[in-house]
């Protein structure tokens, strides 16, 4: 039984297979094609808000032939405390696959273990694998192979999106720079889990810089509070919201500490000429990105949003293939 629960446990071979299939699926959209889910019913269980993930999965599953039911976690007994493992065993007898957006990564893993049907992580507090596979597809569609390139993540470096980027950098062999205040940098244990070795800290005039490499793939990770240096020569500038879902109580403090960690025109000038700017959305203009930069790169950002649909259809086809 295959699941997509994290990029940590997705092999390079499988990542490449999904990314290659995505191109084909995108090109063939609208033409008569295979319906591998004909006769099946899939459930979307969402404990958090969503626009892109919900719509792209609902449309994608239908295009692959499935019936789809959307279940707000608050409206089913899960929201009243029914254990994950009981919910999983019920749904596993009734539906053919589940797309699950929730808080704890352990919950989506427990669901997959007990349901015994293909299960997809549609975002947890620890990972957002469908988003980052889409982002890599979008980069490669516009700029060619990501291997050897430089991706600079700006903002809250300790949340789910940069965590999935870390696992991708280790496997696909690119340099990931995370520009974040010290308290919003990912833990070193995450770099070790991703396989980075030779992790060491150096004191620079602008503060501590942590670097790790992975010789087998050519992957590199840099953690720094120095946004300007991190953006210099980057092929992709990427950001996400400063206040992730579930962190609303910390909003004021987060905005105070993260102010300045913004993608704007001055920062784009430091990147490589022709660098892409991407945002997984929703965007908060004036916070993690300014309006002028967002609108200047809107074509790429909304290509990225559209590509959620194509990439997730490739993920589903890989799961059931
Ligand atoms: N990027 C993303 O996951 O968007 P939604 O929260 O709207 O699904």
Do domains 7-127+308-320 and 131-304 share one topology? The answer is yes
Give the position, in ligand 1's atom list, of the atom nearest the Cα of 123.
3
Domain ranges of the chain: 7-127+308-320, 131-304
Go through 208-239 and write b for each residue having 16 or more CB atoms within 10 A of its CB, e for each that does not. ebbbbbbeebebbbbbbbbbebbbbebbbbbb
User: At the topology level of CATH, where does 7-127+308-320 sit?
Assistant: Rossmann fold (3.40.50)
The answer to whether the CB of 229 is under 6 A from ligand 1 is: no
Domain 131-304, CATH: 3.40.50.1370
Per-residue pLDDT tens over the stretch 189-247:
999 999 999 899 999 998 999 999 999 999 999 999 999 999 999 999 999 999 999 99
Q: Which of 3, 40, 52, 101 is catalytic?
A: 101
Tell me, yes or no, if 203 is annotated catalytic: no
Between CA 155 and CA 162 the distance in angstroms is 9
Q: Which residue's alpha carbon is at the smallest distance from atom 3 of ligand 1?
A: 53
Give the position, in ligand 1's atom list, of the atom nearest the Cα of 54.
8
Between CA 254 and CA 248 the distance in angstroms is 9
Tell me, yes or no, if 131 is annotated catalytic: yes
Between CA 289 and CA 167 the distance in angstroms is 24
pLDDT at 79 over 90: yes
Q: Which among 202, 158, 208 is positioned nearest to 183, based on CA atoms?
A: 158
Per-residue pLDDT tens over the stretch 147-188:
999 999 999 999 999 999 999 999 999 999 999 999 999 999
Tell me, yes or no, if 280 is annotated catalytic: yes
Q: Which of 40, 131, 140, 262 is catalytic?
A: 131
pLDDT at 206: 87
Q: What does pTM read for this prediction?
A: 0.98
Q: Which residue's alpha carbon is at the smallest distance from atom 4 of ligand 1?
A: 52
């Amino acid at each position: 039984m295959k699941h997509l629960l994290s990029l940590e446990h997705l092999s390079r071979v499988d990542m490449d297979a999904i990314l290659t299939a995505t191109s084909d699926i995108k090109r063939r959209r609208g033409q008569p094609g295979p319906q591998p889910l004909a006769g099946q019913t899939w459930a979307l269980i969402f404990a958090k808000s969503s626009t892109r993930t919900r719509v792209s999965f609902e449309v994608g599953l239908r295009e692959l032939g499935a019936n789809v039911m959307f279940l707000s976690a608050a409206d089913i007994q899960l929201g009243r405390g029914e254990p994950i493992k009981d919910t999983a065993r019920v749904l596993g007898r009734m539906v053919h696959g589940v797309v699950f957006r929730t808080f704890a990564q352990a919950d989506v893993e427990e669901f997959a273990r007990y349901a015994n049907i293909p299960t997809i992580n549609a975002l947890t507090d620890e990972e957002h694998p469908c988003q980052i596979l889409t982002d890599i597809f979008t980069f490669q569609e516009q700029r060619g192979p990501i291997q050897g390139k430089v991706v600079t993540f700006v903002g809250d470096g300790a949340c789910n999106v940069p965590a999935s980027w870390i696992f991708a950098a280790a496997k696909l062999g690119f340099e990931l720079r995370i520009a974040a205040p010290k308290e919003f940098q990912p833990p070193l244990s995450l770099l070790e889990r991703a396989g980075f070795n030779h992790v060491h800290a150096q004191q620079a005039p602008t503060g501590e810089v942590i670097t790790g490499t992975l010789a087998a793939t050519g992957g590199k990770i840099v953690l720094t509070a120095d946004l300007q240096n991190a953006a210099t020569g980057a092929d992709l500038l990427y950001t996400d919201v400063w206040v992730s879902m579930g962190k609303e109580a910390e909003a004021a403090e987060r905005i105070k500490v993260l102010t300045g960690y913004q993608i704007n025109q001055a920062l784009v000038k430091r990147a490589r000429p022709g660098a892409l700017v991407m945002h997984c959305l929703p965007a908060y203009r004036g916070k993690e990105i300014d309006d002028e930069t967002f609108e200047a790169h809107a074509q790429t950002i909304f290509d990225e949003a559209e590509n959620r649909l194509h990439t997730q259809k490739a993920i589903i086809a890989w799961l059931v293939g």
